């Protein structure tokens, strides 16, 4: 069976060896940022790109989810700003391979529940929480090369990143991807619910005062609507290869 066609930039690329980007091969840490809204595939793409390059992967959205997760566990007024800031300050994040540890623990699917997902976007809108977590993101990146994904990585957190990408996709396609992720789980939301919540979150992310969602001026924008995640990884890998050749 023939594979689906690659994006034009992938079809036209020259086959080339891309070196493993270990600390020994680079004069300074390599920072690759991937931003974009939910459902564009950026987490999976970022993880696979990091694996190909042999460097770390930082899921910054999981850091905001971790604050929401701890708030959910504690109960009470979970959206109260001072309490959420206090929770953020109490968390210590470390990378162990491709895993993000929260106070030494890998939370796994506990960060992916619908309740945590809903609260995390409100957590991310708080400037005080963002300030705390951005400091931790920069601390992690100061120690190793990374592919880091989120909503403000190329604009706010790492404005001098080596390479910046911004992923997007049609709203209905993004919602369908998330619907499939949730479809086999108990109490899974309907497609319509996911689309509605996605629209609300997009509006919050774009209009929030602290680090609104947008593409960096120097980011490479990729519409993932018509491509598989593997094809998108190929395309991003190609761009990174060109930059590494010039270093």
> Are 136 and 93 spatial neighbours (Cβ–Cβ below 8 Å)?
yes
> Are 60 and 176 spatial neighbours (Cβ–Cβ below 8 Å)?
no
Domain ranges of the chain: 8-242
Convert the pLDDT of each residue in 41-89 to its tens digit: 999 999 999 999 999 999 999 999 999 999 988 776 666 789 999 999 9
Convert the pLDDT of each residue in 121-172 to its tens digit: 889 889 999 999 999 999 999 999 999 999 999 999 999 999 999 999 999 9
How far is Cα 160 from Cα 7, in angstroms, rounded to an integer?
27
Q: How far is CA 58 from CA 6, 15, 50, 107, 244, in A?
A: 27, 28, 9, 15, 20
pTM for the full model?
A: 0.84
* Half-sphere exposure in the Cβ direction for 84 (13 Å, CA): 27
**Alpha helix positions (H), the chain:** 8-11, 42-53, 60-74, 81-90, 114-124, 127-141, 171-182, 191-207, 229-246
CATH topology of domain 8-242: Rossmann fold (3.40.50)
Query: Which of 180, 153, 165 is closest to 238 using CA atoms?
Result: 165
């Amino acid at each position: 069976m023939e594979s689906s066609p690659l994006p034009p930039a992938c079809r036209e690329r020259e086959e080339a060896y891309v070196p493993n980007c270990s600390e020994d091969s680079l004069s300074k840490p390599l920072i690759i940022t991937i931003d974009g809204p939910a459902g564009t595939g950026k987490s999976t793409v970022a993880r696979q790109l990091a694996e190909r390059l042999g460097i770390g992967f930082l899921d910054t959205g999981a850091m905001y989810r971790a604050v929401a997760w701890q708030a959910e566990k504690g109960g009470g007024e979970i959206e109260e700003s001072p309490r959420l800031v206090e929770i953020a300050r109490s968390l210590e994040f470390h990378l162990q391979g491709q895993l993000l540890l929260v106070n030494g623990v890998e939370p796994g699917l506990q960060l992916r529940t619908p309740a945590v997902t809903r609260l995390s976007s409100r957590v991310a809108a708080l400037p005080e929480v963002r300030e705390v977590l951005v400091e931790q993101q920069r601390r992690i990146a100061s120690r190793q090369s990374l592919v880091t994904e989120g909503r403000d990585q190329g604009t706010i957190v790492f404005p001098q990143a080596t390479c910046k990408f911004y992923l997007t996709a049609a709203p209905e396609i993004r919602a369908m991807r998330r619907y499939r992720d949730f479809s086999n789980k108990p109490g899974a939301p309907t497609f319509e619910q996911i689309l509605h919540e996605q629209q609300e979150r997009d509006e919050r992310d774009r209009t929030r005062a602290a680090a609104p969602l947008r593409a960096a001026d120097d980011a490479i924008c990729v519409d993932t609507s018509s491509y598989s995640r593997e094809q998108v990884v190929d395309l991003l890998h190609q761009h990174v290869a060109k930059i590494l050749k010039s270093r």
